[in-house]
Amino acid sequence: MTLPPLPEPLVMVNRYGQWASTSDGDGGVFTAAQMIAYATAAVLAEREAVIGMCDETIDMATFAKAARDENGEPFYNNDVLDAVADAVDEIVTAIRARSAV
């Protein structure tokens, strides 16, 4: 997950006092709205990363169901693979529902 850089600070703060300075500053003062927006973007990006991993898990379970042994029988327990895929799909659905709020 890669987030964009922080927004431009409201003002720069000089380390030698509380006086605002637009130059010689050590850091910025951000508004609550700026930080809320940045934190929200971080959470949504993390959720999308988790959804991506879940989608890969579902794809792998589907792929594994095609595996057969030398007798043509399923190599893996397809009931277990279906249960895993269903459980992970429920996780994705829950994450997406929370992201829509």
How does pLDDT run across 20-66, given as a tens digit for each residue?
544 544 566 777 888 888 888 888 889 999 999 999 999 999 999 99
13 lies in some domain: no
DSSP strands (E only) in 5-57: 11-13, 27-29
Within a domain: 59: yes
**Is the residue at 75 inside a domain?**
yes
The Cβ of residue 91 has, within 10 Å, a number of other Cβ atoms equal to 15
Domain that holds residue 48: 44-99
Instruction: Report yes or no on 50 lying in a domain.
Output: yes
Predicted local distance difference test score (pLDDT) of residue 71? 93
Q: How many domains does the chain contain in total?
A: 1
How open is the CA angle 90-96-100, to the nearest 5 degrees? 145
- Residue 63: CB atoms within 10 Å: 10
Q: Residue 68: inside a domain, yes or no?
A: yes
